[in-house]
Structure 1
């Protein structure tokens, strides 16, 4: 198995603001710089400790993520991270210019000499409010945008594009991706429809803010669709993003989980429930459900809305959350046991880890994981 470190660059200063979008009248330039620098420091340490990937994401208008354009952050990451792959998990491609996205991925792939991973997402429901995009079109927009991005990467001659949602008279991107035919592409497997589409179209899959039973169901759909399409996903084709508390003993890790909670975990997006403890911690609240409901009425969720919303109800007993793989928590031996279960039950080969806690605690945890867990994880 491989390990990735994820940070959405959450705002480090406390804010009492609730709802979405979050007002900025108590915003601090210094706190924002400190937030981004801490993420860069975490990424650099992870690279030095042997992590295989570092990962970024796109979100808007809230302090839990200061990377509305993760491509910009990836340029800074490329100057600090010299070995690990740089994964953008991901870009909300139905709401942005797909040609520009293809160009930026190619730039980062060039800057990193072929180490970029391309995560393509439909985006969460608030992203459709952010950029005034019709959520009922999200799946069709996603499919067209992805097809166009791949053509931008692979077509050697200038071409035009006249689609249902995107139109370009002439396209010929420079620079080109270093990786051939193009960087690895992942998408979210959070819904049955997405998992089935990914399997049918030979796309790699990622899970985030979910539970083991729900991920298991989507994984089965994904693999069945892949087999029908004539291919068999391998462990490197499946990512599982999850928060982690690792310590020398189980008792210490449990204590740290109670103390630090999920403060530096990414909050689940409002389109996926938005009512978990970590969402409340970083400025999401009940008003987001109005956004969620409006977008759902436009057809964003598909056929399994309640399961998708249920997957982010992260409260309850810590031991239950460990059992449901909503958090990895324990000693190095316990973390390895929990990782093995994800490999066995989901076929997941990449853990995308979020280290909760303040600066000193998160950096100590990254180093402990790198020295006492990662060498053995690589053997699974």
Structure 2
């Protein structure tokens, strides 16, 4: 019979207590435990490398322990030593197709703030005081969002996407790399996709290179790095030099890549960064470094630079037609640089929620637009300060993608004139629908929000894949005022029906991810994996 230790945890803000049962087989050392975690969150029940007597012992102790919650909803068992030495990569199985990821903005959900819910007040960039923030609520939300990502992996998602914003309640990912480090340890095979670290605000990119290398090692080679330039919000709140945003982005990128791929020590004498001694002892497990993906919405400069480097470019929740035109621009730059871009170079993030009935899907879908104001969430953008988002050195005023034609995209960047022009053009084309522009109903019609049962959602996903042909997609769910229950129902249905169907569609359309076709050489990586 195995030995057992109970390790109680303090109650969290909702009064729940979590218990960790430390269970050991006879003769095994105490430093090689089988962890059984209990809580009241719903999840699948997973058993790994335990015999039936161990199952019964663990269940009995967990259920009878005074430290356990009154109602045991799940018992998750993990044997960390059973992890594969090398992770199963998306694309390494010939039966897989494309890369399917999960994303949520991780909003701060607190009804006490006054800016949350259907009647919440609009927020203005950098106007909300952090006096409205309750760290106890924040603690609970961090645990919730991490639990949902664990469940997303269990449901078959290939990747877990994180992003970063600062000084705002619409995204709790201000220290995204901490979340990534946690996921590196508590997940098994899903890619950890960072879209992305805001390079221009980093004064010490060597520290960033070491941080990400350590995450890659802990994850056993599952990190995907991504870089962004950030907006006025980040430049102001971190005292960054906005006029040099683009220059700092490029130099920080070059420095980090060299720190990862060139043996040290060496010196770096640049325009914005200077290091007398570069010799990071932490280096990525992926050789020469993790894949680099670039997300964006509007900047042609960024798309051009991305295509020149043969990195995948991920469009973030943009309308379908401007997205297709933006991918066409990427492909044009690729041809100018001597290669043909394919699906492996294109990625797309879009809002999708799946539920058990159309009625539940409708209720949950409307909650997309009821969280804290988010400039990037159409229908709940709040008040965007044009002067803040148009600081000198940020996105060019003229060299922009076709997404500028969309009201929400233009508004998110503080392009007031462009936003008004986009709205006027739509009103001229669809005068009968002008009263619902930007609403939940309008976004459903344009398929910038997709909600419903698997039966109604899957054909719409097919349309997106046929129209855009991306090799990597991310379903954006669980946002706004959506509840944990909304997210868990949707994740379960993704795993049971939507992901398998999406893979079949991707196979039919021959959509390959950057883990199936090398973006630099065009090499078939599934053959290399064999």
The TM-score, its normalising length taken from structure 1, stands at 0.89
Q: Return the match for 2:396 from 297, 301, 314.
A: 301
Most deviating of 217-226 and 321-330: 321-330
Correspondence for 1:16: 114
1:125 pairs with 2:239: no
Q: Could you say what secondary structure the match of 2:131 adopts?
A: coil
Shift in alpha-carbon separation, 1:309–1:92, aligned structure 2, 3 A: farther
Correspondence for 1:278: 380
Q: Is the 8 A contact 1:40 1:80 kept in 2?
A: no
Q: Is the 8 A contact 2:364 2:486 kept in 1?
A: no
Between the two proteins, the alignment pairs up a number of residues equal to: 367
Shift in alpha-carbon separation, 1:243–1:299, aligned structure 2, 3 A: closer
Aligned equivalents of 2:371, 2:102: Cα separation in 1:
12
1:45 deviates by: 0.3
Aligned equivalents of 1:266, 1:202: Cα separation in 2:
35
Matches within 5 A, 1:1-380: 1-14=98-111, 15-16=113-114, 18-21=123-126, 22-96=128-202, 97-190=204-297, 191-248=299-356, 250=358, 252-258=360-366, 260-263=367-370, 267-268=374-375, 276-280=378-382, 285-286=383-384, 288-293=385-390, 295=391, 297-298=392-393, 300-304=395-399, 307=404, 310-312=407-409, 316-356=438-478, 357-379=482-504, 380=506
Q: Could you say what secondary structure the match of 2:168 adopts?
A: coil
Aligned equivalents of 2:271, 2:158: Cα separation in 1:
38
TM-align CA RMSD: 2.4
Aligned equivalents of 1:48, 1:263: Cα separation in 2:
28
Most deviating of 249-258 and 336-345: 249-258
1:311 deviates by: 4.3
Q: For 1:319-374, what per-residue CA distance to the aligned partner results, in whole angstroms no more than 9, with x for missing partners?
A: 54235342222332433323233333322122212223111111111111111101
1:188 deviates by: 2.2
Q: For 1:20-39, what per-residue CA distance to the aligned partner results, in whole angstroms no more than 9, with x for missing partners?
A: 32202222121100110111
Q: Could you say what secondary structure the match of 1:178 adopts?
A: coil
Q: Is the 8 A contact 1:211 1:324 kept in 2?
A: yes
Q: For 1:156-182, what per-residue CA distance to the aligned partner results, in whole angstroms no more than 9, with x for missing partners?
A: 131111111111111111221111121
Aligned equivalents of 1:180, 1:265: Cα separation in 2:
41
Aligned equivalents of 1:177, 1:266: Cα separation in 2:
37
Q: For 1:276-322, what per-residue CA distance to the aligned partner results, in whole angstroms no more than 9, with x for missing partners?
A: 43333xxxx35x334124x1x55533424681773436953545423
Q: Tell me: higher relative CO, structure 1 or 2? Use CA pairs within 8 A at least 6 residues apart.
A: 1
Aligned equivalents of 1:369, 1:239: Cα separation in 2:
19
Aligned equivalents of 1:2, 1:257: Cα separation in 2:
24
Aligned equivalents of 1:20, 1:262: Cα separation in 2:
17
Q: Could you say what secondary structure the match of 2:380 adopts?
A: helix
1:105 deviates by: 1.1
The TM-score, its normalising length taken from structure 2, stands at 0.65
Shift in alpha-carbon separation, 1:223–1:325, aligned structure 2, 3 A: farther
Q: Is the 8 A contact 2:107 2:169 kept in 1?
A: yes
Shift in alpha-carbon separation, 1:50–1:125, aligned structure 2, 3 A: same
Aligned equivalents of 2:374, 2:394: Cα separation in 1:
23
Aligned equivalents of 2:492, 2:371: Cα separation in 1:
17
Shift in alpha-carbon separation, 1:179–1:325, aligned structure 2, 3 A: farther
Q: Could you say what secondary structure the match of 1:261 adopts?
A: helix
Between structures 1 and 2, the one with greater helix share: 1
Most deviating of 184-193 and 315-324: 315-324
Q: For 1:109-136, what per-residue CA distance to the aligned partner results, in whole angstroms no more than 9, with x for missing partners?
A: 0010000010111112211112222323
Most deviating of 145-154 and 313-322: 313-322
